[in-house]
Structure 1
C-alpha cells in the first residue's frame, strides 16, 4: 500500500515502543501542529455531525488530490484527527473511499485507546470526508 509521506511519518512515530502516556503526549503534539482554521471556516456547514466534541472539517481538491484541514477544541481529538489527516491528505477520492479507519489506528497502536465514542467520532469525520469527495 502506498502511504502519503505524512502517514509514513506517523507510523514511524507511533510504532516506537511507547507507553500510553507517551502516545497521548505525541498525539497532542500532532494536534498542536494542525494549522488553525479561521473563524470564517468554523461554520455549522463545516461542523462534523456525529462527534461528541466539536470538529470542523474543510477539504479542497488540488490537482486531483484531496487536502483536508480540520480542528477541534478537544486536544486528544485534535491529535487523533491529525493522524487521520496524515493518512488521507494527498489521496484521490477513490483512495479515500478505501481507507480502513480501524486498520489505520491498529497499525499506529492506538486502537485500544479509542473509546467507542471517539471511534464513532473519527468514523463520522471519515464519512464527512467521503461526502465531500463525492461532490
Structure 2
C-alpha cells in the first residue's frame, strides 16, 4: 500500500532509466524539503544506526501521521523526503501496515545504496513504525 504521492515517485523512477538520474532525483527531493528547526534536532528525535546525522520529528493529529526530518547528508535527506511521501497523511493503522522495504525496493534503492545507507534507511523505517505502534 502506497500513497498517491509515493506512486508519483515510482512513476518518475520508471521514466528515469539511469541510476545516477534517480540518485539526483532523490537528492532534489531532499533539497525541496524545508529544514527541520534546530530546536527539534535533539537526542529524542535523533535516529541511531545512521552513518550521518538524522532527525525525525513525528506528529499525530486527529489520528493522522506525519513527520518532518533532516540530515546532514544530502542523499539521506532525500531518503527522508521519499519516506515522507510514503507515510505522511496515513492513519496510524495504515502506517503500521505499510511494507516500507517492499515499497522502497520498487524504486531499486536496495541495489544502489551502500550498506551504511541501507542500515540508516532501515533505522528510519523502524523509528516510524515504533511511533505508529506506540
Same fold (TM over 0.5): yes
The aligned counterpart of 2:47 is: 48
User: Equivalent residues in 2 for 1:57-72 (5 A)?
Assistant: 57-72=56-71
1:32 paired to 2:31: yes
**After the TM superposition, which parts of structure 1 deviate over 4 Å for at least 4 consecutive aligned residues?**
none
Alpha-carbon separation, structure 2, partners of 1:121 and 1:81: 10
TM-score (norm 1): 0.90
Name structure 1 gaps, 5 residues minimum. Answer: none
Find the counterpart in structure 2 of residue 12 from structure 1: 11
1:93 paired residue number: 92
Deviations 1:85-125 (A, max 9, x none): 11111112222222222211221232210222211111111
Provide closer, same or farther for how the CA distance between residues 102 and 133 of structure 1 changes in structure 2, counting only shifts above 3 A: closer
Query: Which stretches in structure 2 are left out of the alignment for 5+ residues?
Result: none
Per the alignment, in what secondary structure is the counterpart of residue 47 of structure 1? coil
Q: Which residue of 2 aligns with 1:126?
A: 125
Quick check: 1:93–1:130 contact (8 Å CA) kept in 2?
no
Equivalences, count: 134
> TM-score, length-normalised on structure 2?
0.91
Tell me the CA shift for residue 4 of structure 1.
1.8
